[in-house]
């Protein structure tokens, strides 16, 4: 996962919607993982 600043900026300029899609996927993944951990370990949820 070694990307240069030029590559990151280029991707952001060419496809700004991909950043939004990736952000939504990350949020959904974090939500599912957090919910899964809360179900597996109910003690932490109290």
User: Is the entire prediction scored with pTM above 0.85?
Assistant: no
Band (42; pLDDT cuts 50, 70, 90): confident
Share of the chain above pLDDT 90, in %: 28
Could you state, in order of their start, the residue ranges of all structural domains in the chain?
7-45
The whole-angstrom separation of Cα 11 and Cα 8 is 5
Convert the pLDDT of each residue in 12-31 to its tens digit: 566 778 889 999 999 999 99
The 3-state secondary structure of 8-30, one letter per residue? HHHHHHHCHHHHHHHHHHHHHHH
């Amino acid at each position: 996962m070694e990307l240069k600043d030029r590559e990151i900026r280029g991707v952001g300029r060419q496809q700004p919607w991909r950043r939004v899609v990736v952000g939504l996927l990350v949020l959904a993944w974090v939500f599912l993982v957090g919910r899964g951990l809360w179900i597996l370990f109910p003690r932490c949820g109290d």
